[in-house]
Amino acid sequence: MAEPAARSPAEPGARPGPASPPILRRHRRRYSSTTFHVCGISLSFVSAGMLACALLERLTTDRDTAALAVSGAAAAVIGAGAWYLTAPGAVRNRDVFSAVGWTWVVTTLMGALPFLLAATFAVGGADGLEQVVNSLFESASGFTSTGSTVLADFERPGRGLLMYRQATQWYGGMGVVLLAVTVLPFLGVGGLELVSAEVPGPGSDRLTPRVSQTVRRLWAVYAGFTLAVALALFAVPGPSLFDSVAHALTTASTGGFSPHPDSIGHFGSVAVEVVMMAAMIAGAVSFTLHWRAITGHPAYHRDSELRTFMLVLAAAAAAIVALLWLDGGLGLVESVRVGLFNAVSLGTSGGFSNATGPGSAGDYVVWAGGAQMVLLFLMVVGGCSGSTAGGIKTLRMQVLGVVMVRSVRRTQMPRAVIPVKLGDRALAEGVVARVVGFFLLHLTLVLVGLVAVTALGGDFESSLGAVVGALSNMGPALAEAGPTSTFADAFNLPARLVLALCMVIGRLEIVPILLMFAAGWRRLQDLSSPPGRRLTAS
C-alpha cells in the first residue's frame, strides 16, 4: 500500500527555509511509493511501443490495429496515472526489490493484452482460459527475452503484432526498470540500487558519477547496437527491411524469437547466420566493455570473464562439431555450420535456430546425446554479467570453480588462509557467499520447477530442458520443446504457467522476485504492529 509522501520543509512545524519549487509543492498531493512510480513510468514506455506497432499494423496488414491501439491507450492511462499520482519514497532495500519485481509482473500482465484482444491464440477451439494463459506465456517470454513461444500459426498475427512481439524482447533485454531509471535522477543512490537489482549479473558498474547518465549511456549503446545489426542484416541478401528490424530487436536482446516458424533457417543463408552469430556474441558481452571501447578505452582483452566465456564457447562448439561429424552422420561442412550456429545461439541465450524443419540438420533434438548435453551445459552457463544474455553467467561459474579448487587445497592445508582470486583481484568473502548462495538457489529452483512440470504431465527430458531454458531465459529447449515445435505442443496450461513464472524469476536472477514477496510480508507486519512497535529497518 502507498504511504503518504514525506512532509516537505515548507509544511508547518518544519524548519524555516527557502520556498519549495513548484514541483516539490505538487508532491504534497501525491503518495510516496517507489513501486507504483516505477511501474507507472515503465508502463508509459511500453505503451509507446504498443502505439508505434499499432501504426505499423495500420499501414500494413491492418488486422490487429484496434487490439494494439486499445492496449497502448490502456497502458498509457494506467502508467501515466500511477506516474503522476505518486512520488518515489525513501529507497530502502525492500522497496528496491518490490519496485523491480512488481514492475516486471505488471508489465508482463499488461503486455499480454494485445495478444488477448487480437485473439491471437483463438485457434483449434481454444477456450477463453487457454487464450489467457497463452497470452501471458507469450508476454512473459517476450519481456524476459526468453524466446519460447506457444504461437503455432505465424500467419495469424499481423505485421504490427509480430513487431510488438519483437519489441517486448527489446524492452526486456536491457530492462524496463532501466528505462525508468533514466528519468529518475532524483532517486540518487537508490537509482544504482534499482539498477543492481534489475541488471543480470553479480553487480553493476558506474560509467559516470550520476546513475541516470550511466543508464542513458548503456541505452545509447544498446540502441546503436540494434541499429547496427539491422543495417548488417539488410545489407546481406535475403532479409527484408521488416525482417532486418524484427531480428535486430531480438538479437540485441539475445531473445531469439523470429517472426518466421523456421527462425533463421527460413533464409537458408550462411551470410545471415554469420551476421547473427557475431551479433549474438556481442550481445552476450558486458555493455560496459562496449561503452569503454566506443569511448577509446577498449578493455576486452583484459576482461577475465570475457576470455573465459569465449574459451568455453569455442571448446563447446568444437566438441559439438566433432560429435556431429564423427557420431551424428553429418558431413564436415554441415557439421561446422549447424554445430557452430547452435552452440553460439544457446551459449549466448540467443535461442535462434537454423533448422529448416523437423529432423533437419539444424534440429538439435535429433542430434547425438553427447552433443545435446553440451548444449544443455551452455544453456546453464549463459553469457557475461552486465549483458543481455541469460544463464548463471560466466563470472559466477569462474568464482564457483575457484571455490572448488580452494576447498581441495584446504583439505591439504586446513589452517591456510586462501583467498578467492580472479586474476589479480581477491574477492570479498561476502561476494563469494552470494555467488554460492545464488548457485544453490538456482539449482533448487531447477529441481522444484522440474518436479512441478513433470507432475503436471510433462515428460522428463522435455521438462528438464524447458525448466533450465526458462530459468536461463534461453528459448527452445530439448525433446518435445525443441526448435521446430512450440511449448503448446509439449506442455498443458498449468505447466505453461509454471514455466512463465520461471522465466520471470530467471530474468530477475531469482533474488529480487523472492525478496519482493518478503517486502510485502514485512509491510503487512509493519501495518499490523502497534504504532510504537512498527518495524522501521529494511
Is residue 95 scored above 70 in pLDDT?
Answer: no
pLDDT band for position 513 (cuts 50, 70, 90): low
Q: What is the mean pLDDT of residues 330-349?
A: 94
pLDDT digits (tens, 9 = 90+) for 460-483: 999 999 999 999 888 888 888 889
239-253: pLDDT as tens digits = 999 999 999 999 999
The chain-wide mean pLDDT, for the chain, equals 83
- pLDDT for 199 beyond 60: no
At 283, the pLDDT band (50, 70, 90 cuts) reads very high
Tens of pLDDT, residue by residue over 410-424, are 888 888 888 888 777
pLDDT score recorded for residue 139: 96
The one-letter amino acid code at 296 reads: G
Residue 200 contacts residue 385 (beta carbons within 8 Å): yes
Tell whether the model's pLDDT for residue 514 goes beyond 80.
no
What is the per-residue pLDDT for 127? 84
Q: Which three cell numbers stand for residue 532?
A: 510504537
Q: What is the pLDDT of residue 511?
A: 65
Burial class (CB in 10 A: 0-12, 13-18, 19+), 322: middle
Contact 339, 324 (CB under 8 A): yes
pLDDT single digits (tens) 421-441: 877 778 888 888 888 888 888
Burial of residue 147, with CB atoms counted within 10 A of its CB: 0-12 exposed, 13-18 middle, 19 or more buried? buried
pLDDT tens per residue, range 206-223: 555 456 677 778 888 999
How much is the pLDDT for 179?
61
Among 10-19, 96-105, 487-496, 503-512, which is the least confidently predicted range?
10-19
Q: What residue spans of 61-210 are helical by DSSP H? A: 65-85, 93-111, 113-117, 128-143, 159-174, 176-182, 189-198
Is a pLDDT exceeding 90 seen at residue 288?
no
Distance CA 189, CA 375 (A): 40
Looking at residues 174-201, what average pLDDT do you find?
52
Res 507: pLDDT: 83
Q: Where are the domains of the chain?
A: 33-395
Half-sphere exposure of 410 (CA within 13 A, CB side): 11
Categorize the per-residue pLDDT at 58 as very low, low, confident or very high, splitting at 50, 70 and 90.
Answer: very high
pLDDT for the residue numbered 434: 82
Write the single-letter amino acid at 105: V
pLDDT band at 492 (very low <50, low <70, confident <90, very high): very high
Q: What is the pTM of this model?
A: 0.85
For residues 276 and 529, the model is more confident at 276
Say yes or no to pLDDT of 6 above 90.
Answer: no
**Residue 188 reports pLDDT greater than 50:** no
Given this model, what pLDDT does residue 8 score? 39
pLDDT of 24 strictly over 70: no
Q: What percent of the chain has pLDDT over 90?
A: 50
Query: With 70 as the cut, is the pLDDT of residue 389 above it?
Result: yes
Write down the pLDDT at residue 495: 95
The confidence score (pLDDT) of residue 428 equals 83
Can you give the pLDDT at residue 7?
40
